[in-house]
Amino acid sequence: MTIPFIKYSRVLLTASALLMVVAFFFLFKWGLKPGIDFTGGSLLETTYSETRPDLEEMQKIFADAGLTETVVQKTDANSYIVRSNFIDEDLHQSILKDIRDKFQTKENVVRESRFETIGPSVSAALKQRAWWAVIFVCLGIIAYVAYAFRAVSRPVASWKYGLLAIVALAHDVMFVVGVFAVLGHFLNIEVDVGFVVALLTVLGYSVNDTIVVYDRIRENLLRHSADNFGEVVNNGLNQTLMRSVNTTIKTLLPLVALFFWGGATIHTFVLALLIGIASGAYSSIFIAAPLLVVVEKWQRR
């Protein structure tokens, strides 16, 4: 059975474009909620062997210390993660002493699991490096695809394969960013360096899936005439469909396990991967390949 992907490509591309508009709207309306990696500040995680204190009591300790910009979050373990503006070592030890004096007993031992401090200059450098990393990855993808597909520069030039692969990548990245803009606004989920690493991973996975589809289209073009380019592309999509679906499912299964049982510290990273990899599988089939046919039709007109 041959699925007519190209026949319904206009509907699929329109739906994807509308999804991008919604993602842009959420991003510009609410923006991402930057974590300590990008804003600078301190992070303190404390763990309680028996009973975790009330959220209001923890917030009061930091308020009494004069820290007004503080976010206190519960974790799945018997712990609290506190993000605040900069805490020097003296204040850090004072807060830790207050927590132990108030909540520690023989049965309920308070342990400091983590304490990190990042200055504003470091966070600014991380922002800049994150942008440059994404830009260089995209340029490298265009250059590689243009070279790899130089043998099939008709009816669509090889560099356009790379450019359309970037369009599919932009869809995947914007979808992830849009979801995290919503999550940041309603659930206070922050983005950090792990989120940037997840985006770069999504870029690599998405382009890999797209290249597999493009490569089958290239093989079909070398074997058959390009007179009916839409049919060649549709055959390539059908030939690689099960490979894309199986690979995606096998990748998502361990990520789902990591999300539920991997601990709170990697939730943001894993969630971004889950959303991005699922989107990457979609875009390689329903965006990257159909856009080739759209470009070919434009060229003929």
Residue spans of alpha helices (H) in 52-192? 55-64, 89-103, 120-148, 158-187
* pTM reported for the whole predicted model: 0.81
Predicted local confidence at residue 109, as pLDDT: 92
pLDDT at position 291 = 92
Q: Identify the DSSP state of 189.
A: -
Say how far apart CA 74 and CA 185 lie, in whole Å.
18
CA angle 180, 267, 67 (to 5 degrees): 80
Residue 110 lies in a domain: yes
Q: Last residue of some domain: 86, 118, 150?
A: 118
Residue 81: which CATH number?
A: 3.30.70.3400
Task: Indicate whether 139 and 80 sit together in one domain.
Answer: no
- Same domain, yes or no: 81 and 162: no
Q: What confidence score (pLDDT) does residue 121 get?
A: 54
Same domain, 167 and 107: no
Residues 58 and 72 sit within 8 Å (Cβ to Cβ): yes
Number of domains in the chain: 2
Indicate whether 10 and 52 sit together in one domain. Answer: no
Q: How crowded is residue 226: how many other Cβ atoms within 10 Å of its Cβ?
A: 15
Nearest partner of 275 among 167, 201, 184, judged by Cα: 201
- On whether residue 62 sits in a domain, the answer given is yes
Which residue range is the domain that position 213 belongs to? 6-36+122-300
Tell whether 46 and 164 lie within a shared domain.
no
Q: Assess if residue 181 is contained within a domain.
A: yes
Is 1 domain-assigned? no
Q: At which of 118, 133, 161 does a domain end?
A: 118
89 belongs to a structural domain: yes
Q: 254 and 269 share a domain?
A: yes
In this structure, the answer to whether residues 278 and 139 fall within a common structural domain is: yes
What is the rounded distance in angstroms from the CA atom of residue 60 to the CA atom of residue 287? 51
In this structure, what CATH number is given to the domain that contains residue 291?
A: 1.20.1640.10
The reply to whether 280 and 152 lie within a common domain is yes
For residue 193, what are the contacts with CB-CB under 8 A and spacing of at least 6? 37, 126, 130
Same domain, 137 and 208: yes
What pLDDT shows up at residue 298?
A: 86
Residues 259, 157 share a domain: yes
The last residue of a domain, from among 101, 118, 135:
118
Domain co-membership, 176 together with 67: no
Q: ∠ at Cα 209 (235, 251), nearest 5°?
A: 125
Q: Are residues 211 and 136 in the same domain?
A: yes
| Blockwise average pLDDT, block size 10, the chain, 301 residues | 85 92 95 82 90 90 86 81 87 93 90 84 71 82 80 76 88 94 90 86 87 87 77 90 91 93 83 94 92 87 69
